[in-house]
Amino acid sequence: MKLSIEKKDYSKVKSEAVVLGVFEKFSFPKEPFCKTIEEEAKKARFDGNVGESFFLKGTHFDGKVVLVLGLGKEDEYSIEKIRVALSNAVRKLKERFIESAVFAIHPEKSKDDFKETISTIAEVIVLTNRKFDRYITDRKKLFFGLNEAIIVIKELNKKAEEGIKKGKTLSEAVVFARDLITLPSNEVTPTYLAQEAMSIAKAYNFKAKILNEKECKKLGMNAFLTVAQGSKNQPKFIHLTYQNENAKKSIGIIGKGLTFDSGGISLKPAQGMGAMKSDMSGAAAVLATMKAIGELKPEVNVEMIIAACENMPSGKAYRPGDIIYTMSGKSIEVQNTDAEGRLTLADAITYTQKQKVDEIIDLATLTGACMIALGPDIAGIMGNDQNLINSLISISKKTGDSLWQLPLEEGYFRFIKSPIADICNNSSVRWGGAITAGLFLKFFVEKKIKWAHIDIAGPAYRDDDLNENHKAEGAGFGVRLLVNYLLGQKKV
């Protein structure tokens, strides 16, 4: 899509439609058609609430369709409100098969930073507009949404230009993550993820290391390899490094990379198993983050780690009851082969700690329990450093990747004690599963390292159409959160 920002009167821009934002208790622009709007607004029961909208009858300003969009209270106008209102508007345009639109939604009135406001507008337009349709062979039946969007503003300045660049970069990265998640496991294998990582490394000059099974074995990554052993698809351990000359800190970002999770011998029920192609959503998020930081160049060093493999039942698969030694030397009793993510992450954490990082953030579709606790829109965050958790939560409020902190209650460690090994991969009780999974990971984190774990099982993959997201697609959850967190490091 062609996306641009212009200092122009919306009525003078050439396009098929105009989205005209109005605040609650609106007073319409002094235009000849303003009386018509007021009458039609009344008829449409339109109050200007966030996301309310209606199409004006006929066309205006040289044949344009006009969508009047509610932006809520003027003094509360913010990035959060823009996300809701604008995604509704783009959906409406799509329903009318509109291909080009000008957006007059007053970004200068937002309470938030102007650059971030413009970036958000760009993100919402691109992401709401786009739908995953690669496998539909009858292309004639498809409507591809807007192919041109123009945002009009009062003053063109540096912040506006930077906002557009950031918004484009972020939305491209999120689309990249969504594609990876939505593509099925017969395409996206561990090798495929490794190839994607290699092409990102090439494009941005990152150091790249892809370890095969033999090399992982040498390093003692038995927990990771044990999960992988049931599948004929070879595991790949993926490590990218981004370095910035002004960096004062090194941050490890780890993504759970199960390209398919059947549950293994502890097989999952058939219903909904297909969605487990999305069990690499953490990996997709960290890969997409690397793509974005290659463009935006934050002042920090980043080590990106993915232990990519597939969890399958077979004659070679691991079994409940097996005991394995991790790369850290600690032993794990396996009681459920479906609790595989924490096994792969245990070795990934140990490896990352050897890269001399100051902090680790991991993103993982780790537990159904987290989804039960927080529902489909919110991820759970846990960790050993409240400042790190607080900064991530505060950033998430602006990026739209909602987080809620769960307590890493030490007392619950008793549920994952093993009578014959150092720890068990399955809890002895049914409750608190997101927390016991968090405690399991914590067992492998050195005390000196600040660590946050984000369980994205709920929001990683969409069952419903919501705002920027589409049904049965990956959400790209966490990409904007991580990128903004890394960009914020320059002040440290």
Binding site for Zn ion (CB under 5 A): 258, 261, 279, 338, 340-341
Q: Which runs of consecutive H residues, i.e. helices, occur in 156-301?
A: 158-182, 190-204, 213-219, 222-228, 281-296
Rounded distance between C-alpha atoms, residue 440 and residue 340, angstroms: 12
Give the H or E element holding residue 466.
none
Name residues contacting ligand BES, limited to 438-457 (CB under 6 A).
457
Q: Does 220 bind ligand BES (CB under 6 A)?
A: no
**Least distance in angstroms from the C-beta of 436 to ligand BES:** 8
Catalytic one of 81, 83, 342, 462: 342
Catalytic one of 268, 297, 330, 490: 268
Strands of 314-397, DSSP E: 323-325, 331-333, 359-364, 379-383
Q: Does 129 bind ligand BES (CB under 6 A)?
A: no
**Identity of the amino acid at 216:** C
The DSSP result for 351-372, as a single string, is HHHTTT-SEEEEEE---HHHHH
480 is catalytic: no
CB under 6 A: which stretch of 110-118, 334-342, 386-394, 443-451 binds ligand BES? 334-342
Q: Does 341 bind ligand BES (CB under 6 A)?
A: yes
CB under 6 A: which stretch of 108-116, 124-132, 243-251, 339-347 binds ligand BES? 339-347
Is the CB of residue 196 less than 8 Å from the CB of residue 180? yes
**Least distance in angstroms from the C-beta of 477 to Zn ion:** 16
Residue from the set 433, 459, 476, 478 that interacts with ligand BES by CB under 6 A: 433
Q: Does 313 bind ligand BES (CB under 6 A)?
A: no
Q: Decide whether 41 or 258 has the Cβ nearer to Zn ion.
A: 258
Q: Decide whether 151 or 286 has the Cβ nearer to ligand BES.
A: 286
Name residues contacting ligand BES, limited to 346-385 (CB under 6 A).
365-369, 371
Residue from the set 338, 377, 401, 468 that interacts with ligand BES by CB under 6 A: 338
**Least distance in angstroms from the C-beta of 184 to Zn ion:** 16
Greatest pairwise CA separation for the chain in angstroms: 81
Rounded distance between C-alpha atoms, residue 451 and residue 384, angstroms: 6
Is the CB of residue 454 less than 8 Å from the CB of residue 378? no
268 is catalytic: yes
**Least distance in angstroms from the C-beta of 266 to ligand BES:** 7
**Least distance in angstroms from the C-beta of 185 to Zn ion:** 12
**Identity of the amino acid at 208:** A
Is the CB of residue 437 less than 8 Å from the CB of residue 366? yes
**Least distance in angstroms from the C-beta of 414 to ligand BES:** 16
Q: Decide whether 16 or 362 has the Cβ nearer to Zn ion.
A: 362
Q: What, of ligand BES, Zn ion, none, does residue 336 touch, CB below 5 to 8 Å by kind?
A: ligand BES
How does 280-304 read in b/e, with b if 16+ C-beta sit within 10 Å? bbbbbbbbbbbbbbbbbebbbbbbb
Residue written as token pair 């793509």? 291
Residue from the set 100, 128, 231, 426 that interacts with ligand BES by CB under 6 A: 426
Q: Decide whether 16 or 340 has the Cβ nearer to ligand BES.
A: 340
Rg (CA), the chain: 24
Instruction: Give 491: exposed, middle or buried? Use CB within 10 Å, 0-12, 13-18, 19+.
Output: exposed
Residues at the site binding ligand BES, with contacts judged by CB under 6 A = 261, 279, 336, 338-341, 365-369, 371, 426, 433, 457
Enumerate the active-site residues.
268, 342
